Structure 1
Amino acid sequence: MASLKDVAKLAQVSLMTVSRAINSPDKLNKDTYIKVKKAIDELNYVPDVSALKIRGDRKVPQLIGVLALDTATTPFSVELLQAIEKTAQAHQCNTLIVNLFDDHDAERSINTLLSYRPAGIIFTSMGFRKITIPSKLQSQPLVLANCISPDLPVASYVPDDYQGQYHAMERVIAQGYKKPLCIYLSLNTLAGKLRRKAVEQAWQDHNLLLSDLTSYHLNLELGDEHYLDTIEIINRYFKEGSPDIDVIICGNDRIALLVYQVLLGLGYKIPQQVAVLGYDNMVGIGELFYPPLTTVQLPHYQIGERAALHIINRIKDKQEYKIDCPLLIRQSI
């Protein structure tokens, strides 16, 4: 890789002149600047940011570090990372994303990120969850995205799963459905607990009996293959025909995808015979259900944007910010 010295030699100028051409071009005459610029382009020279930082150059864009726990490997949270990058670029900041995989070798990843001296760090996870903040991050400007820490006061931006599910159930109730079959995420997940609580609270708030709700939790902590348990649940109620179920409340769109396949395979019409409600608005899939799936949008883009602005604007609050999850009304309800 070309150095500052290489540029100076090719342009036949001093190192100071090259430095001025990069940092203060207005202090050079036009011919000299053009000569240096030509040498930079010819050598594909890139300024050494670490050296600029050591000199205290104020023109160096601040860096936002991102620790992505299982996030960068999944399609579900791609919008979150995209929002962080776009927001940073819009404010003349750079980002450095370092992946964590189930906390494997977390210390090395954290050391790598801290070695770049970021202005702040965003810790994000795939799936709304509780995390433990590593000790080396506790003294850093830190914000959590799509996760919370029960142990330390730290700002976090998370989906308002309760609000999203409650609003969706109000729509279900307004449409006159009386006998829901609910297939939730794992009971030990934040989303699984919050979404069930919202369903039941909305149901009771409209003077309906909890005994009319038929509820299951998938054991997804044992592996994604347990999504397939959805097939057995649907067959249990629909295979023999004329079930006492008029709407299926799905813990997420992956469950809804299986529900569609089984129902349509058994000859049921959606929503004429049974309605289906999803959750997540699964990236690249949500609008491809037939008929299109009514679902709740996880606000990943807004979470990433707000988390980035928290660092950029140096916000000092250490509270939990809940981001609305809007209902996307399509044809399955």
Structure 2
Amino acid sequence: MASLKDVAKLANVSLMTVSRALNEPARLKKETYDTVMSAVKQLNYVSDISARKIRGAKSTPNTIGVLALDTMTTPFSVEITLSIEETARAHGWNSFLVNMFSNDNPDDIVDLLMSHRPNGIIYTTMGLRQVPVPKKLSTLPCVLANCESLTDKLASYIPDDEHGQYAGVTALFQAGYKKLLCIHLPHTLVASQRRRAGIERACLEAGIDPSTLTHHYLPEGDQHYLNAADIVNQHLTASHHFDAIVCGNDRVAFVVYQALLTRGLKIPEDIAVLGYDNMVGTGELFIPPLSTIQLPHYEIGRLSALHIINGETHQETVFVASPLLRRQSI
């Protein structure tokens, strides 16, 4: 890869002249500028942005550093980082991402992130979590996306899980379904607790005793999604009857569909099904299409990026709307 020195040598000018051509072209004569840029083009020289930031070059775009804890290893939350990049570009900023995996040393990863000299940092996670925030991040403007801080008070943008679940269950009640079987994600998850609160609020507003609902929590681990089929079959053969199933996410709903259809039951005529997440690219592929709640990952990424770009200073938790997407399963 060509260096700044290579450009200076080919153009027969000083390093300072090359730097001015790249950062402050108005200070050069047109002939000198054209000579330098001809050398840049001939050598396919790519400017070292981090080095320019260290030198304080005026034309260097501002940059958002994204610390991603598992966010880029799953299709379910990739929209967060996509939105951050698109929002940054739309406002003339750059963004870069550093992945942090569960077995990484956080200090090492944060040092790598900080070495790129970002103007602000977004810390994002896959799945709503409460996380310790490394102290070094607080030296720059920092915002949390899809997570909350266990340590310092920082601005956070997270899904409104409680209201999203409330809206979905309210739609079930309004459609005439009253006996719900709820198959939750693990009880330890923050989202599971808030979604159950949404279910209970919907019950109270509809005049239904929340204790009449049946709740099951899946164990931790993706392999336990298949347990949802056993739960459905257990209740289909028991004296307890239900007319709708509230699923912890769309993957649970996928298993529930198979269990119901295998038994010859029709959705929604016999039993309605409600998902959660609006899993990318799949909701409309269910037969019938799955009613679900949208996890607002794209909006979370956009608002988090704007927080840094606009220099916002609040340290509040912002609950981002999680709307119901009503399809044919209700």
Of 288, 303, 307, the match for 2:300: 303
Deviation at 1:306, TM superposition (A): 0.6
Of 273, 282, 291, the match for 2:288: 291
Kindly indicate whether residue 224 of structure 2 is the aligned counterpart of residue 226 of structure 1: yes
Deviation at 1:87, TM superposition (A): 0.9
Of 295, 300, 309, the match for 1:312: 309
> Structure 1's 103 and 152: CA in aligned 2 closer, same or farther, altered over 3 A?
farther
Partner of 1:201: 201
Partner of 1:91: 91
Contact 1:182-1:215 at 8 Å conserved across structures: yes
The equivalences for 1:77-156 within 5 A come to: 77-102=77-102, 104-156=104-156
Q: Secondary structure at the match of 1:181?
A: strand
Deviation at 1:219, TM superposition (A): 1.1
Kindly indicate whether residue 276 of structure 2 is the aligned counterpart of residue 279 of structure 1: yes
Partner of 1:265: 262
Of 325, 328, 331, the match for 2:328: 331
Deviation at 1:155, TM superposition (A): 0.4
Q: Secondary structure at the match of 1:13?
A: coil
Deviation at 1:21, TM superposition (A): 2.5
Q: Secondary structure at the match of 2:157?
A: strand
Deviation sequence 1:187-228 (CA, Å, 0-9, x none): 1111111111110121122111224311111112xx211111
Counterpart-to-counterpart distance in 1, 2:12 and 2:68: 46
Contact 1:253-1:295 at 8 Å conserved across structures: yes
Partner of 1:245: 242
Deviation sequence 1:38-62 (CA, Å, 0-9, x none): 2111111112223322332121112
Deviation at 1:242, TM superposition (A): 9.3
Counterpart-to-counterpart distance in 2, 1:242 and 1:188: 30
Q: Percent identity?
A: 53
Deviation sequence 1:144-202 (CA, Å, 0-9, x none): 10011133211000000011111111111110101111101111111111111110121
Q: Secondary structure at the match of 1:37?
A: helix
Q: Secondary structure at the match of 1:244?
A: coil
Q: TM-score of the superposition, structure 1-length normalised?
A: 0.94
Q: TM-score of the superposition, structure 2-length normalised?
A: 0.95
Q: Which moved more, 1:35-44 or 1:176-185?
A: 35-44
Partner of 1:255: 252
Instruction: Give the aligned residue type for 1:227.
Output: Y
Counterpart-to-counterpart distance in 2, 1:140 and 1:27: 32
> Structure 1's 326 and 253: CA in aligned 2 closer, same or farther, altered over 3 A?
same
Counterpart-to-counterpart distance in 2, 1:37 and 1:217: 63
Deviation at 1:30, TM superposition (A): 4.2
Deviation sequence 1:303-329 (CA, Å, 0-9, x none): 011111111111110000000001101
Partner of 1:192: 192
Q: Which moved more, 1:294-303 or 1:186-195?
A: 186-195
Counterpart-to-counterpart distance in 1, 2:145 and 2:172: 30
Q: Secondary structure at the match of 2:143?
A: strand
Instruction: Return 5+ residue gaps in structure 1 as ranges.
Output: none
Counterpart-to-counterpart distance in 2, 1:58 and 1:186: 50
Contact 1:178-1:212 at 8 Å conserved across structures: no
Contact 2:165-2:198 at 8 Å conserved across structures: yes
Partner of 1:72: 72
Deviation at 1:277, TM superposition (A): 0.3
Count of aligned pairs: 330
Partner of 1:25: 25
> Structure 1's 139 and 7: CA in aligned 2 closer, same or farther, altered over 3 A?
closer
Deviation sequence 1:224-248 (CA, Å, 0-9, x none): 111111011011122x499721110
> Structure 1's 123 and 234: CA in aligned 2 closer, same or farther, altered over 3 A?
same
Deviation at 1:121, TM superposition (A): 1.0
Partner of 1:36: 36
Instruction: Give the aligned residue type for 1:75.
Output: P
Contact 2:133-2:150 at 8 Å conserved across structures: no
Instruction: Return 5+ residue gaps in structure 2 as ranges.
Output: none
Instruction: Give the aligned residue type for 2:229.
Output: I
Instruction: Give the aligned residue type for 2:288.
Output: P
Instruction: Give the aligned residue type for 1:173.
Output: F
Contact 1:297-1:327 at 8 Å conserved across structures: yes
Deviation at 1:31, TM superposition (A): 4.2
Counterpart-to-counterpart distance in 2, 1:232 and 1:100: 35
Partner of 1:168: 168
Counterpart-to-counterpart distance in 1, 2:277 and 2:306: 24
